[in-house]
Amino acid sequence: MKQVNQVKLSESFLKDDAHRESHDKNLWAARMRRDEVARNIPEWEEMRELASRIKMHTLANLDTYLEEFEKNALANGIHVHWAKDAQEHNEIIYQIFAEHNVKVVTKGKSMLMDECGMREYMGERGIEIYEADLGERIQQLDDEPASHIVMPAIHKLRGDVSRLFAEKLGSDPAKDDPHYLNSVMRADMRKNYIRVDAGMSGVNFAIAESGGILVTTNEGNADISANVPPLYVASMGIEKVIPRVSDAALFVRLLSRSALGFHVTQYTSHYHGPREGQEMHLVIVDNGRSERLGAPEYWQVLKCIHCAACMNTCPVYRRCGGLSYDAIYMGPIGIVLEPSYDLHKYAQLPYACSHCGSCGNVCPVKVPIPEYVLTWRKILVDRKEDLLTHRLQMDLGAMVLNSSKTLEMGLKVALNALRYIPKGVMESGVNPWAEHHTDPLPPKETFREWYRKQEETDEKPNKQ
C-alpha cells in the first residue's frame, strides 16, 4: 500500500494563507478557551491524574468490565454484539438492517464507524446513510474525510461551505451567513429524519455498573438519530467502557472543556435501553485494540477519550490541516495511533512533530503522546520501516558524532562550508533551510579556539 507523505500532502494547505490562518486561529482559540475553563477549576490537574488512573485501571481489567457491562446492558434490553474487526462490525450492522428492511439511516458522529469504513460498506449495499453532525455532513457532501475528530470541517472557510451548499443543496451562492447556511442544512436534514428507518451513533462512554451508554454532542444530532426511528444502532470500541456512573461525571467534566473549552456539551445523553417500541443494538468492536492493549510500548493510546485537545494545541496540525495526515485519526494522537493500524502506510506520520510536548500537557487522560512519538520512531527503525534517506544521514551522522576526533573534523567542515561556499549555492533549492532562513553567519573563531588563546594569556574575568 502507498505510504502517506504528510509533508507533501500539507504543502498546498501551508501555502494557502486564508485557509491556514483561519484554521490556526480557530483552533488556537479553542485551546485558549480550554486554558481559561481549566484554570477556573482548582482541581484540574488532579482530575487529569484521576481520569488517567481510572482509564489505566479499566484497561488493565478490561475483560471483567466488558462482561459486567454486557450483562447489565442485556438486562436493560439492549442487543449486544461483539465484532473482532471492521469487517465483522459492518456485517453485523448490515445483517440488522437487512432484517429490518432498512433503506435510509441518519447517524451521529462516530470515529469508530469511520475507522470501519461503515458508510462506504452500506452505500455499496444500497443503504443511504446521512451524517447528522453538521461538520460531518459538510464533509460527506464534499466527498472528503473529516479533518478533525470533533470539528470535521474546521479546515473549510464559510465561503467553501456556501459554495458547496449552493452546488449540492441549491442554496443561494451569494449568502455565506452561518445562520442561513445552518437553516439550509436543517431544512435538508429534516426531510431525511422523516423518512429514516434507523438511527446510528457512536459512544463516548459505556458504563459497566449500569449497562448504559453516554453520547455527547453539541447539535443534538445523535439524539434525533437515537430517538426518532424505531431502530437505534450504536458502535463502540472495547476501550470505551468505564466502571461506574460516578466516573462518567469526571470524564464529562474533562471532555468538553478539553475539546472546545466549553463547560459542558449541549447534549449529554444517557441511553440505558430502548424506548418503548424501539429496538436498540450495540456493537462492541476490537479491530486491533486488544493487540494495542498488549503492546507495553504504546498501550496507553487506548486511554484517549477523543477530545482533540492535542490537535487544537499542536503547532504542526494547526498549520498543516487534518487532511494532510490522510488518516482517520490525525494530529498528535493520530501519529502515535495510526502506525498501529498499518505500520508501512503510516510510517512517516511519527515525524510530523517538532517535539514541543504541548499535546502531552493538554491531554485530559495523560496519554504520553510526546514519549510515544519517539517510541514509534524507534519501532520504525527496528522494523526497517524508516526512510532510506534518514538511515543514510543517521549512519553518516553517527560516524561523525562517535568520537571526538571525527566530530571536531565534522565541525570544521561545516564551518568552512558556511564560510566559503558561495551564498548563491547555500541559498538555492539544495538547502531546504534557505526558503525561510538566512544562513547563520560563521563566527571568526569557535569557542574551543577562543579558549585555547584565553588560556595562553590567562586572562581571568572578574570574580564575584
Q: Which positions from 393 through 422 interact with other proteins, judged by CB under 8 A?
A: 394-395, 397-398, 401-404, 407-408, 410-411, 414-415
Contact 407, 400 (CB under 8 A): yes
Number of residues engaging other proteins in binding (CB under 8 A): 79
Residue among 2, 179, 355, 384 that touches other proteins (CB under 8 A): 355
Three-state SS at 444: coil
8: Cβ–Cβ under 8 A, 6 or more apart, which residues? none
Least CB distance from residue 453 to other proteins, whole Å?
A: 11
Assess 392 for contact with other proteins (CB under 8 A): no
Least CB distance from residue 447 to other proteins, whole Å?
A: 4
Q: Of 56 and 400, which CB lies nearer to other proteins in the complex structure? A: 400
| Residue carrying C-alpha cell 449495499 | 125
Assess 14 for contact with other proteins (CB under 8 A): yes
Q: What is the DSSP string of 117-162?
A: THHHHHHHTT-EEEE-SHHHHHHHHTT---SSSSSTTTTS-HHHHH
d(CA 166, CA 168): 6
Nearest partner of 290 among 305, 301, 276, 306, judged by Cα: 301
Assess 41 for contact with other proteins (CB under 8 A): yes
Assess 436 for contact with other proteins (CB under 8 A): yes
From its phi and psi, is residue 316 left (phi > 0), alpha (psi between -120 and 50) or beta?
A: alpha
Residue among 3, 16, 19, 44 that touches other proteins (CB under 8 A): 44
Q: Of 245 and 415, which CB lies nearer to other proteins in the complex structure? A: 415
Residue among 63, 159, 438, 453 that touches other proteins (CB under 8 A): 438
Least CB distance from residue 37 to other proteins, whole Å?
A: 10
Q: Of 4 and 236, which CB lies nearer to other proteins in the complex structure? A: 4
Q: Of 39 and 179, which CB lies nearer to other proteins in the complex structure? A: 39
Interface region with other proteins, contact rule CB under 8 A, candidates 76-84, 92-100, 238-246, 352-360: 352-360
Q: Of 60 and 401, which CB lies nearer to other proteins in the complex structure? A: 401
Residue among 84, 95, 433, 453 that touches other proteins (CB under 8 A): 433
Residue among 246, 266, 354, 428 that touches other proteins (CB under 8 A): 354
Least CB distance from residue 102 to other proteins, whole Å?
A: 44
d(CA 217, CA 110): 11
Least CB distance from residue 351 to other proteins, whole Å?
A: 6
Least CB distance from residue 244 to other proteins, whole Å?
A: 25
Assess 20 for contact with other proteins (CB under 8 A): yes
Q: Of 420 and 447, which CB lies nearer to other proteins in the complex structure? A: 447
Interface region with other proteins, contact rule CB under 8 A, candidates 95-103, 298-306, 313-321, 336-344: 313-321
Integer angstrom CA distances of residue 342 from 14, 197, 263, 286: 26, 35, 36, 15
Q: Of 91 and 445, which CB lies nearer to other proteins in the complex structure? A: 445
Cell output for 284? 462492541
DSSP state, 389? H
Q: How would you list the strands of the sheet with 241-242, edge to edge?
A: 241-242, 205-207, 212-217, 267-271
Assess 376 for contact with other proteins (CB under 8 A): yes
Three-state SS at 74: helix
Give me the 225-264 binding string for other proteins, x by CB under 8 A, dash otherwise: ----------------------------------------
Residue among 163, 319, 344, 345 that touches other proteins (CB under 8 A): 319
Contact 211, 66 (CB under 8 A): no
Q: Of 60 and 394, which CB lies nearer to other proteins in the complex structure? A: 394
DSSP state, 167? H
Nearest partner of 285 among 110, 101, 126, judged by Cα: 110
d(CA 159, CA 165): 10
Assess 443 for contact with other proteins (CB under 8 A): yes
Assess 447 for contact with other proteins (CB under 8 A): yes
Residue among 334, 360, 364, 368 that touches other proteins (CB under 8 A): 360
169: Cβ–Cβ under 8 A, 6 or more apart, which residues? 141, 184, 185, 188
Q: What is the DSSP string of 10-33?
A: HHHHHH-HHHHHHHHHHHHHHHHH
Count of alpha carbons within 13 angstroms of residue 367, beta-carbon side: 24
Q: Of 135 and 261, which CB lies nearer to other proteins in the complex structure? A: 261
Residues 89-128 that bind other proteins (CB under 8 A): none
Q: Of 26 and 61, which CB lies nearer to other proteins in the complex structure? A: 26
